[in-house]
């Protein structure tokens, strides 16, 4: 049964993840990733990548990392079923989470009966109006990124960067066909700069889930 497999693995994972830090300072976390040679330390949305970094560090004896691939899409880990790692801010108005590629997830459900989502949930703090953290990060990277220069050229608004994440809970969500029916999609009808359509992704609404959240750990 997929439910029993899911719960058994979730319990094993939770024991390991109880050891991860609870308060993530942006500068400290980015420098930790950089010093470890983790290639995502330059990313603006560092919180999600830092959680992935922690999962890869603490779960390497529990999961096969990375997990199975479908085309250009690779799941973060595997044990019994494919698993993905995500982080989400709870002190925001949105309870929607962009998960993985819709087609890859549907194929993984067909092959394994379900996909597991390991979701770190916590409160975030944002950069000050002088954007001190953003300037520090850009200097560390060696200057503004191509993405940031394109945003400036477009005259688009610059979001305040997250500077701290206080972990409150890790939830384990089982995604199967019944969950897909409840989900929306992200990037449908979106196109890249070269005109090619973007891959459609699952948009998970936490307010529509209940029994799908099979297991959780409070911090």
Mean pLDDT of 168-185: 84
Task: Quote the pLDDT of residue 199.
Answer: 67
Q: Would the pLDDT of 122 be above 50?
A: yes
Burial class (CB in 10 A: 0-12, 13-18, 19+), 54: buried
Total-model pTM = 0.86
> Domain of 177?
2-218
Task: Quote the pLDDT of residue 57.
Answer: 97
| Nearest by Cα to 46 from 124, 105, 147 | 124
Task: Quote the pLDDT of residue 206.
Answer: 85
Q: How many domains does the chain have?
A: 1
Contacts of 174 (CB under 8 A, 6+ apart): 2, 3, 6, 114, 115, 116, 117, 212, 214
Q: Would the pLDDT of 32 be above 80?
A: yes
């Amino acid at each position: 049964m997929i439910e029993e497999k899911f719960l058994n693995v979730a319990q094993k994972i939770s024991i390991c993840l109880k050891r991860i830090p609870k308060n993530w300072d942006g500068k400290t976390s980015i420098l930790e990733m950089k010093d470890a040679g983790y290639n995502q330390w330059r990313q603006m949305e560092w919180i999600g990548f830092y959680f992935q970094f922690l999962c890869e560090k603490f779960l390497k004896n529990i999961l096969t990392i990375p997990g199975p691939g479908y085309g250009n899409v690779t799941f973060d880990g595997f044990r019994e079923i494919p698993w993905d790692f995500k982080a989400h801010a709870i002190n925001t108005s949105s309870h929607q989470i962009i998960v993985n590629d819709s087609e890859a997830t549907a194929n993984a459900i067909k092959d394994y009966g379900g996909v597991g989502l390991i979701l770190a949930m916590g409160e975030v703090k944002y950069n000050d109006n002088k954007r001190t953290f953003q300037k520090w990060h850009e200097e560390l990277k060696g200057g503004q990124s191509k993405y940031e220069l394109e945003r400036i050229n477009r005259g688009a608004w610059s979001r305040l960067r997250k500077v701290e994440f206080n972990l409150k809970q890790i939830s384990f969500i089982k995604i199967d066909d019944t969950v897909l029916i409840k989900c929306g999609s992200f990037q449908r009808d979106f196109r890249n700069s070269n005109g090619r359509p973007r891959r459609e992704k699952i948009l998970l609404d936490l307010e529509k889930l209940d029994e799908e959240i099979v297991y959780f750990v409070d911090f």
